[in-house]
């Protein structure tokens, strides 16, 4: 019996990389996990691996920018596994890369659809049930790009800082409901997303330094370690012991115990009107 026994988790972007690591860690702690992505082949393999390890899982395809798709997949999950206790919004795209006056406007906006519209739609569909039951947690996988200005990476940086604010707004509105929301940086691992960035001609042209760092990480035997650390961070937040930190954005080096202590020492903060 794991610490998430009896709970149901929905993880998007779960076919590989961080999403897969998170899904497998949650399942190992007893959660029944729905793994979702646009590719049924990838998530089917993840679900098969989870079931082979003796845990409950299902796979489904979903365009997380589509309200209709989300409604269908949530109904599938609730019908097969049960009501959703934990949402992990992990889907993301790295580009487009280049000066904002040169990138394709449609591609730039499509990135915001994934970074902002998708977590909003997922929360819009799933939070009502959580609130009515008085329990639930949401974790959005953000990035350090949320707090930096990175020339030629405007779509990603803008999407991630907006994602963090969406989480903060949701948490403020969820106060007192028993439902919490968090944003995290997953760490730095040479995933498929990183490889796609490395191989993108525009990234090579405008983000040469970042591309070189990614290449170095592909040759680093320790580079996969953040997968486990990210999965553990999601599990820690899913456990409920850090619900008082709802609304925050946390990176892997952040000490959640210290953050919790500081939060308690601050006491309640008055909200102005």
Active-site position among 37, 154, 156, 249:
156
Active site residue 156: yes
Euclidean distance between CA atoms 91 and 114, whole angstroms: 7
CA dihedral 231, 232, 237, 238 (to 10 degrees): 70
Could you tell me how many residues make up the chain?
273
Q: Are 10 and 126 in contact (CB under 8 A)?
A: yes
Active site residue 144: no
Active site residue 263: no
Active-site position among 160, 242, 246, 249:
160
Burial 8-21 (b: 16+ CB within 10 A, else e): bbbbbbbbbbbbbb
Active-site position among 37, 142, 180, 246:
142
Burial 72-105 (b: 16+ CB within 10 A, else e): ebbebbbeebebbbbbbbbbbbbbbbbeeeebee
Residue 248 C-alpha from the chain's centroid: 14
Active-site residue list: 142, 156, 160
């Amino acid at each position: 019996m794991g610490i998430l026994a009896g709970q149901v988790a929905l993880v998007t972007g779960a076919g590989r990389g961080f999403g897969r690591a998170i899904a497998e860690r949650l399942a190992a702690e007893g959660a029944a996990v729905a793994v979702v992505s646009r590719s049924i082949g990838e998530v089917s393999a993840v679900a098969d691996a989870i079931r082979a390890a003796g845990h409950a899982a299902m796979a489904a395809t979903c365009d997380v920018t589509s309200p209709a798709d989300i409604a269908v997949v949530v109904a599938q999950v609730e019908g097969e596994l049960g009501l959703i206790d934990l949402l992990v919004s992990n889907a993301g795209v790295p580009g487009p890369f280049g000066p904002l006056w040169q990138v394709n406007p449609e591609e730039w906006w499509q990135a915001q659809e994934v970074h902002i519209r998708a977590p909003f739609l997922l929360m819009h569909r799933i939070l009502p049930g959580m609130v009515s039951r008085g329990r639930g947690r949401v974790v959005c996988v953000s990035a350090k790009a949320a707090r930096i200005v990175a020339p030629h990476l405007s779509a990603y940086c803008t999407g991630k800082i907006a994602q963090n604010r969406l989480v903060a707004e949701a948490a403020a509105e969820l106060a007192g409901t028993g439902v919490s929301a968090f944003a995290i940086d997953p760490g730095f691992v040479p995933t498929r997303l990183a490889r796609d960035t490395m191989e993108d001609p525009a990234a090579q042209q405008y983000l040469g330094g970042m591309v070189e760092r990614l290449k170095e990480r592909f040759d680093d035997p320790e580079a996969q370690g953040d997968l486990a650390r990210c999965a553990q961070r999601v599990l820690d937040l899913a456990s409920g012991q850090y619900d008082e930190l709802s609304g925050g954005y946390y990176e892997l080096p952040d000490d959640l115990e210290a953050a919790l202590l500081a939060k308690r020492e601050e006491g309640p903060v008055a909200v102005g009107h």
